[in-house]
Every structure is written in C-alpha cells, then in structure tokens.
Amino acid sequence: MTPGVHRLLEKYFGRMAGNERLPDPLMRWVTCRSAMLSRLEVPETLVIRKHGTQLAIKMFPDHHRIVLLLEEEPWTVKRQAIPGMGLSARESEILGWVAEGK
C-alpha cells in the first residue's frame, strides 16, 4: 500500500493500525463482493462521500488476486439532477449556480 493510498483510507475510514491491512468495513466489502467479481463485465465500485469529496474504490480481478483502484474527486450536485427535486425553474437555476460555487 502506497503512502497516498494509506492517507486516503485514513481520511475516509479513520485511523489505521498499520500499512498492510485494509480497514474492516472495506475488507468486508471486498470479501462480500469478490465472489461476484468474476461474473461481472464492469468492476465493482464503492463510493464514499465525506466533507465535500468522494472516494471511488473500484475492484478488478487480476489473475488470482484482487486489485483496488482508488480515485478521489470533489463531490457536487450535478445540474442534471436538480430539476427532479421539485423546485421551480428559477430555484433550480439558482441552486445550480450555488452547486458550482458561484
């Protein structure tokens, strides 16, 4: 596990005891989903949102082991989702601007 991965896991899962072990909630997810992994066309993805960012953890099979890819990015409300919130056109427009930080 690289130092960057260790930092991300601590940010989203809390303090970790060592560099070699996954946090318990992530280990349970990997264990539960790994049985289905060989039957899927797309990787399994776990998304965790915290403090305005999100961590996407993608699980890929690699021969007889599992590889996890971690991607962190800002988390914002997507403009496409706003009209379905029951707001007026003007309220949706303003919320869209606020979501974009304006």
pLDDT in tens, 5-17: 889 999 999 887 6
Q: H or E element: which one contains 65?
A: strand 65-74
Q: Is residue 60 domain-resident?
A: yes
**pLDDT level of residue 93 (50, 70, 90 thresholds):** confident
**pLDDT level of residue 84 (50, 70, 90 thresholds):** low
Domain extent for 57: 3-76
| Cα distance between residue 23 and residue 100, in whole Å | 33
Reply yes or no on whether the pLDDT at 3 is more than 80: yes
CA distances (Å), origin 1, targets 20, 35, 67, 77: 6, 23, 11, 31
Neighbour-count burial of 32, counting CB atoms closer than 10 A to its CB (0-12 exposed, 13-18 middle, 19+ buried): exposed
Lowest mean pLDDT among 25-29, 53-57, 73-77, 78-82: 78-82
Q: Is residue 22 domain-resident?
A: yes
Q: Is residue 98 domain-resident?
A: no
Reply yes or no on whether the pLDDT at 39 is more than 70: no
Q: Is residue 94 domain-resident?
A: no
Q: Is residue 90 domain-resident?
A: no
Q: Is residue 35 domain-resident?
A: yes
Count the domains in the chain: 1
Quote the tokens at residue 96. 């869209």
pTM: 0.65
Please answer whether residues 41 and 52 qualify as being in contact, where contact means their C-beta atoms are separated by less than 8 angstroms: no
Q: Is residue 101 domain-resident?
A: no
| Cα distance between residue 53 and residue 12, in whole Å | 10
Q: Is residue 89 domain-resident?
A: no
Please answer whether residues 48 and 19 qualify as being in contact, where contact means their C-beta atoms are separated by less than 8 angstroms: no
